[in-house]
A and B are shown apart, each in its own frame.
Chain A
Amino acid sequence: MKRLLVVLTAALVLLAGLPALAAELTGAEIMEKVDDNAYFSTSHMRATMTIRSRNREMVKEMEAWGDAESKAGLMTFHNPGDRGTKYLKLGDELWMFFPNADDLVKISGHMLRQGMMGSDFSYSDAIESEKMTELYDFTVVGKEKLDGRTAYVIEANALPGTEVSYAKRKSWIDTERFVALKEELYAASGKLMKVMTTKKIQEIDGRYIATEVVMEDQLKRNSSTTLTITELTVGVDIPAGLLSLRSLMR
């Protein structure tokens, strides 16, 4: 019924030639649209991670497969220092394979807050596969202009009983493309932990995808990590047995 009302409202707005369709949306509805953009049943991507600290920079190349339904993913690094290092995520658990020692290690839960491969993205950031709407309660607190785009400003508070990396988020969501342009990530104490800024958005398979984002850890000075997706395919057929320890050790 709610969806029908939204469609009717949209039709009326279009007929009247007014631009303010999405102003009617609630925070949850906006975030559902964000989830629709960012949530893939299956995907394969290649990406680079550029880690900067003061005047130093290093680049990591990676490839990842994801299956949202089984909350599973496999990530492999290809840059010289980490070539063959792999991560397997199944549910809320994470395993890591060190190729130099053919060593398979289960990552302890407390380590999931650690920066992945020395980056500003934590393991939790990397493996979180739930839809945002399953984890948070959202409130629209206003609209602002950001880099020339109009954005909803939405505050998100973790739903009771959910395990999330950040207790509170403040997001700037593009009103037309429903992509986060910026996010502030807070600890339960209210302390600002990280700021994520979207630098590039591309339309892929009819969805708007943030293909270049910068994460800044607010607990470190002069440091940032830029994640750039160089190739993304959604709805791929994941090879049988790929998301397993056997595949991790090959």
Chain B
Amino acid sequence: MSDTMSGSKLRGTGRSGALALLVFTLTLALSAAACAATPWVGGEWGVSLDGTKFGSDWEWDPSSELLLKSSLMGETYRLFSEVSGRFAQHGDDWDTSTAVERLYLRMFFSDFDLTVGKQQINWGTGRAWSPSDLFNPPVALDPDRRRNGVNAVLVTIPHGPLAYTSLIAAENELSDSASLGMRYHGYTSGTDWSVLYVSRDEKPVLGGDIATDLMGLGIHSEMTWEPDYTRDQERLLWLVGADYSWRDGKVVWMGEYLYDSTAASSKTEYPKVFWSPDAHLAKHSLFNQVTLAYDEFNTASLHLLSNLVDGSQAVTLGHSAMLDTQWRWDVQGTYFTGARDTEYGGHADILFGTTLSYLF
């Protein structure tokens, strides 16, 4: 997914490397104007301990990660890079790896912005799932997990302060052909809305999303339709979500329901092997999240991810504490319920993770 180095060897070059080279070349071309640019370097260093419990056995994996970000912002461009270096123990082995998470050049023209390089294309309004997020989809088990960037060329054309069109050509790691797409984002009477068309694997994907307020509730919804999903099957993905808060926003609830027309309606229909990374096991899934900010520095959260077909669940309890301006401590534990032949019952019994981070 990302350009990864293990030791001193670079893996995953090819088109990614060519794009990186292009970005650097363009950067050099812009260096003459760099004197007027605003630079910054920052990032995050974290030390983590992750635990996995199978039956009565715990396996512990310590790790440390440095995430380095830099930006050079000029009048007419922005160069941004985000690189991670990780040192981790897996069983008895220690492993080092580095990855280019994002590396792009964004150029500002009078009528459009052009972004070239590895970037996050974050479409849609969903949190646990996002059917129209065709390039950097979230992971329902951990919606806050850092998403992989995608090598792409993106053109953003504004049509007033709240409307714009995005045109994209992005690398598709599962196929030799690039994904091509366009999305129009508009705003009407308090509602953000978008429509999109993407050609992925040379097959069309049509979709859209909205985000609005309805009788005090925040409402969001997304839908994609793939008429040629497989040779004999179309696919409809539909997500609807709502959110509400109490006690002046200190307690926030958010729920999402996902329907996948191609997924199984009973666990006997589950496929043996996933053939697509964005495939879902169950036709009906539910995500609920409650967060409690009990003071300015501490937030507790509960995520409940439910497979409505086989009844299995993943229950995640988390706590995040800002210790001061630059130190943050996170702890998270996930408990899986259900039989071994269910979606979440097939996982480890418990996942645990804690990270102490220094932000700079």
Contact = CB atoms under 8 A, between A and B. Distances in A.
A206 interface: no
Contacts of B69: 83
Nearest to A120: B296
Given A53-B296, A83-B42, A101-B147, A246 B211 contact: no
Given A80-B325, A106-B192, A220 B295 contact: yes
Nearest to A93: B190
B161 A245 contact: yes
Contact of B156 (A59, A193, A246): A246
A90 B161 contact: yes
A157 B325 CA distance: 38
A2 interface: no
A177 to B, nearest CB: 31
Given A59-B325, A122-B249, A108 B156 contact: no
A70 to B, nearest CB: 9
A193 B250 CA distance: 14
A2 to B, nearest CB: 38
B297 A56 contact: yes
Nearest to A224: B296
Contacts of B40: 83
Contact of A118 (B125, B322, B326): B322
Contacts of B78: 250
Interface stretch (A33-41, A109-117, A230-238): A109-117
B42 A115 contact: no
Interface in A202-250: 219-220, 223, 225, 241, 243-246, 249-250
A51 B323 CA distance: 12
A223 B250 contact: no
B44 to A, nearest CB: 8
Contacts of A103: 120, 122
B146 A100 contact: yes
Nearest to B325: A58
Contact of A79 (B146, B190, B252, B325): B325
A120 B296 CA distance: 8
Contacts of A244: 158, 160-162
Interface string B88-112: 0000000000000000001010000
Interface in B249-306: 249-250, 252, 293, 295-297
B163 to A, nearest CB: 8
Interface string A60-94: 10000000000010000001110110000010010
Given A53-B296, A80-B359, A114 B249 contact: yes
Contact of A81 (B218, B250, B359): B359
Interface residues on A, range: 35 or more
A110 B156 contact: no
Interface in B310-336: 322-326, 328
Residue among B218, B247, B323 with the highest chain A CB neighbour number at 10 A: B218
A118 B325 CA distance: 12
A118 B122 contact: no
Contacts, number: 131
A243 B161 contact: yes
A115 B297 CA distance: 12
Interface in B141-186: 146-147, 156, 158, 160-164, 185
Interface string B324-357: 1110100000000000000000000000000000
A193 B88 CA distance: 48
B216 A246 contact: no
A83 B42 CA distance: 9
Contacts of B160: 244
Contacts of B248: 113-115, 122, 193, 219
A192 to B, nearest CB: 13
Contacts of A105: 125, 211
28 contacts: A53-B295, A56-B324, A57-B324, A57-B325, A58-B297, A58-B322, A58-B324, A58-B325, A80-B42, A81-B322, A81-B328, A84-B71, A93-B190, A109-B216, A110-B218, A111-B249, A113-B249, A114-B245, A114-B293, A115-B250, A115-B296, A122-B249, A219-B248, A220-B295, A220-B296, A225-B296, A245-B164, A249-B156
Given A58-B296, A122-B248, A246-B156, 13 more contacts: A52-B296, A58-B325, A80-B326, A81-B322, A81-B325, A102-B120, A108-B213, A115-B248, A118-B296, A223-B295, A243-B161, A244-B160, A244-B161
Interface of A: 51-54, 56-60, 72, 79-81, 83-84, 90, 93, 100-106, 108-115, 118-120, 122, 193, 219-220, 223, 225, 241, 243-246, 249-250
Q: Top 6 closest A-B pairs, CB basis?
A: A114-B249, A108-B218, A244-B161, A102-B120, A58-B325, A80-B359
